[in-house]
Amino acid sequence: MSKSQADNITMSEGGLYSLATIGAKDVIDLAADRACDAIQQLDLSQNANRFTMADMGCADGGTSLGLVDRILSELNDTNPDITSSIIYADQPANDFNALVSIVHGRSSFDTWMNRHKNAFPLFSGASFYTQAAPENSLDFVFSATAMHWLSQKPCNLSNHVHMVGATGDEYAQFSEQARNDWETILLHRSRELRAGGKAVFANFCRDENGRYLGNTEGINMFDTFNEIWLEFLSEGAISESEYHSMTLPQYYNTVEQFSAPFDNPESPVYQAGMRLDSIETGIVRCPFARKFEQDGDVKKFADGLIPTVRSWNQSIFAAGLDPQRNQDDRRTLIEDYYGRYHQRVLDAPAGHGMDYVHAYMTISQS
Ligand SMILES: C[S@@+](CC[C@H](N)C(=O)[O-])C[C@H]1O[C@@H](n2cnc3c(N)ncnc32)[C@H](O)[C@@H]1O
């Protein structure tokens, strides 16, 4: 990924990411049984009582604290002498201050470090598009809600801001980029994992029924993003070129696309000894929409939903604005954009929300 594109993918900072994205934690909690089952299958007897795992694309680390706590507890139950290393990896532009503070207990989050004295966090600025750890050094790799970020944007879209609305050649270019990126991600993990090591990923997907993030029923969240930017365009508030630059560098694979490198004995992934143990899709309801169904508090709904959306797309949209614009102008446009989305939810809340649609998979390295 070029530096400028990579730098634009940043989550909300200062620990706000984990506070705003309760749903992302629910996704990780849903993957926890799968992760612990995979770890139980590891043969750690050769490792001199060492266990090394990585959480790739960890953001501020808050959403996976509970998972790491459970993994360490289960490991200690079977092997009280075990020493563990937890590598927290994210791209260099990530808010590492927040990550270190949260993991080391200098925040309101309850960290596993309070309970596990023989486990040590390590922090890495490595992208998952590179080898992030030495060869044959990891027992387990975890990643949630991160690998949909492409290594680069293959093109800007003419009629939408996301590949879920792309068609024709533009869709084909995104699909080809995603196919290459998935292979790259897997080949690097293949090098890092020890023989017998496992990976568990919870990756955004398009499921068997065509559902994806924010598009399970009711209003399509990505169409809303697009409609609001088109309003700005038709009002002359942004230019054509700014609208096109809003294209998000993301791709949501289908189960078939995730499985393809493992199904083909000729593929470099298969030849590197990686196997897909299992894959299934699952939906985590938007916590804000669920709460709204219970309490009917539309203001609370809009006040919760918009920050969770902003937490992951504001940096991309802001970077799409013309660099010649001054700071005040940029800030006003971005505030107006999310203000308009907020107003839409207030005016007609039914059908809004951001249900999470993931493919949960376990991969083995032979
Ligand atoms: C939505 S957050 C997910 C955070 C956390 N895993 C969770 O599930 O709550 C996506 C994370 O992926 C990171 N990310 C995006 N591209 C990456 C890359 N190429 N390598 C490592 N991390 C990346 C982002 O910086 C961000 O922290």
In terms of residue numbers, what domain contains 137? 3-365
Instruction: Name which residue sits closest to atom 27 of ligand 1, judged by CA.
Output: 59
* Residue that the structure tokens 């990643």 belong to: 143
Distance of alpha carbon 151 from alpha carbon 5, whole angstroms: 8
Whether 157 is in the pocket of ligand 1, judged by its Cβ within 6 Å, is no
CA dihedral sign of residues 268, 274, 275, 281: negative
* Tens of pLDDT, residues 198-255: 999 999 999 999 999 999 999 999 999 999 999 999 999 999 999 999 999 999 999 9
Tell me the two tokens of residue 33.
């049984």
- Provide the β-strand partners of residue 83: 50
| Minimum-distance ligand 1 atom for the alpha carbon of 312 | 1
| Structural domain count of the chain | 1
CATH number, domain of 98, equals 3.40.50.150
Whether 127 is in the pocket of ligand 1, judged by its Cβ within 6 Å, is yes
Tell me the two tokens of residue 243.
């609208």
* Tens of pLDDT, residues 263-321: 999 999 999 999 999 999 999 999 999 999 999 999 999 999 999 999 899 999 999 99
Whether 71 is in the pocket of ligand 1, judged by its Cβ within 6 Å, is no
Tell me the two tokens of residue 45.
């007897």
The residue type of 253 is N
Contact in structure between 119 and 113 (CB atoms under 8 Å): yes
CA dihedral sign of residues 149, 56, 273, 205: negative
pLDDT value, residue 1? 43
The size of the chain, in residues, is 366
* Tens of pLDDT, residues 88-128: 999 999 999 999 999 999 999 999 999 999 999 999 999 99
- pLDDT band, very low/low/confident/very high, at 21 (cuts 50, 70, 90): confident
Whether 94 is in the pocket of ligand 1, judged by its Cβ within 6 Å, is yes
* Tens of pLDDT, residues 56-71: 999 999 999 999 999 9
pLDDT at 15 over 80: no
Instruction: Name which residue sits closest to atom 8 of ligand 1, judged by CA.
Output: 144
DSSP 17-59: HHHH-HHHHHHHHHHHHHHHHHHHT--GGGGTTEEEEEEET-T
Contact in structure between 216 and 128 (CB atoms under 8 Å): no
pLDDT value, residue 18? 61
Percent of the chain with pLDDT over 70: 95
pLDDT value, residue 206? 98
CB atoms within 10 A of CB 114: 9
